[in-house]
Structure 1
Amino acid sequence: MAGEPQGDCLFCKIVAGEVPATVVRESETTLAFRDINPQAPTHVLVIPKAHHTDAAALAAEAPQIAADVLREAGEIARQEKTEDDGYRIVFNTGAGAGQTVFHAHAHVLGGRGLTWPPG
């Protein structure tokens, strides 16, 4: 069921405190932590605390929480001092797009030049 924690979901386990993560921000509805395989000097994941499979499901099922994720991504950029030089917010949706954890999450990337297209 949408929003309910999934026992086999890595990000649900991080939210529950069962798996450690380097948390950099937390709100009532979101959690932000450093990616364990960073692709840029700043690489932070922002997730909804409630389980939603991907960005499309999050937007359809909980649009206010989707907005919270985006707002927190902007706050991460400010906190990490990448706001002025630019940063990227990426949602991978589906395995073919590189999504490996099926819990909606935004990648906040910055701290170096980011080329387009990304690959």
Structure 2
Amino acid sequence: MSDGTEHGSSTAEFAVLLPAVAALLAVALGAGVCGTTQVRLEQAARATARELARGETTASALETGHRLAGETASIKIGSAGPYRRVEVSTQFALPWFGGPELLKLSARAEAKPEGPGGGVAGPGGR
């Protein structure tokens, strides 16, 4: 038989566990958003490099990169031997874990230019 001393103990246990559950949920949501942002950066880097390799203008390629990665993303274009190199990066902030520059996410892609001197044969080529 109960003598009444345990009355409300489940409420107290719930109150103690609630902040831990909320923190775990915040970390899980932050990781999901971080993963989604990384995928967007990868897509932007590949698409920008592909456009440059096809001979599109730098402005057009940058527009595509910003459309996919977001306007706040930084896009750097360079060369690595015969390849065009693109690096897309952005600051990722989790406001409940500190400052606005908690993580820097980035992605890189390279593509070899098509056409004459690019090494890709056109129609009827080898």
* TM-score, with structure 1 as normaliser: 0.24
Q: Which has the higher helix share?
A: 2
Query: Which has more radius of gyration?
Result: 2
TM-score (norm 2): 0.23
